[in-house]
Structure 1
Amino acid sequence: MISADEKTSIQARCRCHPTLAPGQSRAMRVNHTYERGGALAYLAAYDVHQAKAFGRCEATTGIVPFMNLVEQVMTAEPYTSAKRVFFIVDNGSSHRGRRSIDRLAARFPNAILVHTPVHASWLNQIEIFFSIVQRKVVTPNDFTDLDEVRDRLRAFEDRYNATAQPFQWRFTTSGLDDLLARLDRRQPGRQEESSVALAA
């Protein structure tokens, strides 16, 4: 099972003064005056069972960059010869609707595109990977140019793939039921809405 998405507009911001690392009783110091060095999109696919990330940098997002990512995954083993490979995606414009399902199946008959519910992209495990990328690679977004951004993303991906373990996904349908019940208790009048939503 592959979880895939795009992280848009990663900017290269060349700071006018160097960022100072945190010290004893002192937070990191980041100068907020910078020159823009351009932006790129980071597209990634994450094998949720193997904890393996496939990433690529593109000038922008869209159908062609997304299909480039799919090609990168599906031309590697074990995905090429797998009976079925599920791609979990949100409803972003690069991979939305029936046409995206047909486009993927036409190119790779063993690839099956599955969309998360609208407004529920947080269910996609690639978002956990992107949160790690944001904390470990992008923040504080202090790069001289886009080549440095690409190099750091590639280096992080190599290191991540060498050491990562699958995420321990603990949120279940019973957990969702408990969460909705707690919300109902806090907000009178919501109980009927939640009951109708669950019944539908």
Structure 2
Amino acid sequence: MKEEWCIPKVGAEFVWRMEDLLDLYMQPYDPAFPVVCIDERPCQLIGHLQPPQPVQSGRLAREDTEFSRHGACSTFLMFEPQAGWRHALVKATRTKRDFADCLKYLLDEKYPSASKVRLVLDNLNTHTPAALYETFPFPEALRLAKRIEWHYTPLHGSWLNMVEIELSVLVNQCLKRRISNIEQLRQEIAAWEHARNAQKAMVQWRFTPPDARIKLKHLYPSREEIPS
């Protein structure tokens, strides 16, 4: 029997969310309305069964193929692309409460004087204003929710969230090795974060609304009326 692949259907819903994000990225920097991208990734905690052997003269470092598992945790990464700032919170779980705690940190610790934080995030079921109301008393949840402007990526379009690029950098520069406990993971990520922030490292985002209207023209419902 021939296997059939299920191709996600995208169209008007995808287009308006994409246009919203691309327009947001094109706006000039405004410290009163910072654009912050947020997402998280699971991290496995893996240790050595045999001590690794360091580099020696004429010999590369060696690591035994066997390893031990020590559970998993989640790394929540917040990234302000226009300022070249990022911060990671490593948590044991990935619940609505964990997400709400990250938002409270973002609003009260990093941007206490901002009028609103323009938040870019995907459609994970924990990424919702309801997380605030399930975590904090109503007055506190309402206060926090009113300071956020929510911008969601399209379904099947999480690549439009710039933090995905920064998470890839984090994995390649910091996480492609064995880290056995959550405290060590926090220390390693904090060192990576400090170095990246000191450089004010930014994402060179080149996908603009005109690019989308050309390259993804087939997604637009009224193709003959698409502005350049």
TM over 0.5: yes
1:69 aligns with 2:91: no
Q: Would the aligned equivalents of 1:101 and 1:113 in 2 still touch at CA under 8 Å?
A: no
Structure 2 residue aligned with 1:125: 162
Following TM superposition, by how much is the alpha carbon of 1:178 offset from its aligned partner in structure 2, in angstroms? 4.0
Q: How does 1:1-200 map to 2 (within 5 A)?
A: 1-8=35-42, 10-17=43-50, 18=52, 31-77=64-110, 79-96=111-128, 99=130, 106-108=142-144, 109-140=146-177, 142-180=178-216, 194=218, 197-199=219-221
Distance between the aligned counterparts of 1:64 and 1:100, measured in 2? 6
Following TM superposition, by how much is the alpha carbon of 1:160 offset from its aligned partner in structure 2, in angstroms? 1.3
> How many residue pairs end up in the alignment?
180
Following TM superposition, by how much is the alpha carbon of 1:126 offset from its aligned partner in structure 2, in angstroms? 0.7
Point out where structure 2 has 5 or more consecutive residues left out of the alignment. Answer: 1-34, 135-139, 223-228
Q: Would the aligned equivalents of 2:38 and 2:77 in 1 still touch at CA under 8 Å?
A: yes
Question: Compared with structure 1, are the counterparts of its residues 152 and 81 closer, same or farther at alpha carbon in structure 2 (3 Å cutoff)?
Answer: same
Which region of structure 1 is more displaced relative to structure 2, 52-61 or 143-152? 143-152
Q: Would the aligned equivalents of 2:100 and 2:132 in 1 still touch at CA under 8 Å?
A: no
Q: Would the aligned equivalents of 2:44 and 2:73 in 1 still touch at CA under 8 Å?
A: yes
Question: What residue identity is the alignment partner of 1:2?
Answer: V
Following TM superposition, by how much is the alpha carbon of 1:57 offset from its aligned partner in structure 2, in angstroms? 0.8
Equivalent position SS for 1:76: helix
Instruction: For residues 91-120 of structure 1, give each alpha carbon's deviation from its aligned partner in whole angstroms, at most 9, with x where no partner exists.
Output: 011114x74698897242221121111111
Question: Compared with structure 1, are the counterparts of its residues 80 and 177 closer, same or farther at alpha carbon in structure 2 (3 Å cutoff)?
Answer: same
Point out where structure 1 has 5 or more consecutive residues left out of the alignment. Answer: 182-193
Q: Would the aligned equivalents of 1:105 and 1:112 in 2 still touch at CA under 8 Å?
A: no
> Cα RMSD (Å) of the superposition?
2.9
Distance between the aligned counterparts of 1:198 and 1:42, measured in 2? 35
**Identity across matched positions, percent:** 23
